[in-house]
Structure 1
């Protein structure tokens, strides 16, 4: 999902809306363990493909406690192009804490580490916070640590530790009749080292349908709003099954 290099930016798309999101425990259980398995025709994270517009198989395992604590891991194949270390897969580790302030208002805190075990200088970590009021969710993620070669604003041929990138995001999520779901989302990536040269906004829409024991299917649209990137609209499909 998410190397620091601008040419290969993430969660995954919707069906993984989750690519890196932890599951919520049932209120009646002190401990809850769940798993998920998904497939997408294009792994999109923060508006950009992580698979060169190709398909991905994804899955994760999550633990949650009734106190609001959660932790988990998630994996997906990736393809950032032959010029980026020939990275083949992403492995995420995350933990978080969340709760409800009222019936309509809740919050979530998270710490996540994005690992690319077969790559070099590509791992990074973020801390994030979000709040949900009824159907509106908004939040921000902050890059705590990352390493990138030849990042903008860094001397040629040098490696540097990257921190301070900010990603702002918001979504509107609605439950529709016939077990349909509608999600409208948008985000803005503010990079620290490029003096605004690579910052960008993106937006997307997802229509999903629950199919009982067969999981959830989705039809998705995503686009980046800056022509220095590949700003062609992307339409992709996904499937997610939770256990």
Structure 2
């Protein structure tokens, strides 16, 4: 989704990093960059944020050679603003780099805004991720919230680990498992995500995705997506 998250469209060396995801190597050399995604669903941690409808998403980033980056990302949502939000706007900043031994890291803060919602649902997370070769893992913890919703309470955390495997030059396969905990009374759950991506030089990345949240009544979500970095 955003720079700090490992993307559902991530290539073997992810440039968008994380729930996607981000690979630290892109930030060290980048200056200004942008991205756009068109997907048949906006899936986040096993749940649809668009009610199963299509999503148009995109963002802009600035990365300094020191490893510092800052950016913004947005997507449409299922609501119409009255009272549920019709779009999400994320602002984030962090540091990412790769050490000489190949170990990458990405740490930062993101705030999720829902500007047109009649409900108070904004919240912020700190995040940290380590990556090595095709493997990665990290945690995201809610540290502040302006929400009356139990799920957004400070202390709620999402832990994840996965791998992205490139093959045949232009393909990559990925698998991730996550565990969501809540500081309130809501039950924790597991989240699983698998993807198959085809990367092209001029037309971006195409992917097929499957996601599942281990919550009563939730089914496997299947969706396709296309993304382009510029």
TM value normalised by structure 2: 0.86
User: How big is the shift at 1:151?
Assistant: 2.9
Instruction: Report Cα offsets for 1:22-80 as digits up to 9, x if no partner.
Output: 685475x5x61101111000100111110001100001000001111001000100115
Question: What corresponds to 1:65 in structure 2?
Answer: 64
Structure-2 change in CA distance of 1:203 and 1:26 (3 Å): closer
Match of 1:199 among 188, 192, 206: 188
Match of 1:180 among 171, 175, 180: 171
SS at match of 1:170: strand
Give the whole-Å Cα distance in 2 for the aligned partners of 1:22 and 1:106. Answer: 10
Give the whole-Å Cα distance in 2 for the aligned partners of 1:12 and 1:147. Answer: 25
Quick check: 2:162–2:176 contact (8 Å CA) kept in 1? yes
Question: What corresponds to 1:217 in structure 2?
Answer: 206
Match of 2:9 among 12, 15, 19: 15
Give the whole-Å Cα distance in 2 for the aligned partners of 1:189 and 1:147. Answer: 20
Superposed CA RMSD in Å reads 2.5
Give the whole-Å Cα distance in 1 for the aligned partners of 2:206 and 2:159. Answer: 27
Structure-2 change in CA distance of 1:226 and 1:20 (3 Å): closer
User: How big is the shift at 1:81?
Assistant: 8.3
User: How big is the shift at 1:211?
Assistant: 2.0
Question: What corresponds to 2:44 in structure 1?
Answer: 45
Give yes or no for the alignment of 1:239 onto 2:230: no
User: How big is the shift at 1:174?
Assistant: 1.1
Structure-2 change in CA distance of 1:188 and 1:20 (3 Å): closer
Quick check: 2:180–2:190 contact (8 Å CA) kept in 1? yes
Structure-2 change in CA distance of 1:192 and 1:210 (3 Å): same
Question: What corresponds to 1:34 in structure 2?
Answer: 33
User: How big is the shift at 1:150?
Assistant: 5.6
Flag structure 2 segments of 5+ consecutive residues without an equivalent: 11-15
Give the whole-Å Cα distance in 2 for the aligned partners of 1:26 and 1:202. Answer: 28
Give yes or no for the alignment of 1:88 onto 2:86: yes
Give the whole-Å Cα distance in 2 for the aligned partners of 1:121 and 1:49. Answer: 20
State the structure with more CA Rg: 1
Report how many aligned residue pairs link the two structures: 219
Quick check: 1:20–1:92 contact (8 Å CA) kept in 2? no
Give the whole-Å Cα distance in 1 for the aligned partners of 2:27 and 2:129. Answer: 21
Give the whole-Å Cα distance in 1 for the aligned partners of 2:169 and 2:99. Answer: 30
Question: What corresponds to 2:157 in structure 1?
Answer: 166
Quick check: 1:166–1:191 contact (8 Å CA) kept in 2? yes
Give the whole-Å Cα distance in 2 for the aligned partners of 1:134 and 1:212. Answer: 22
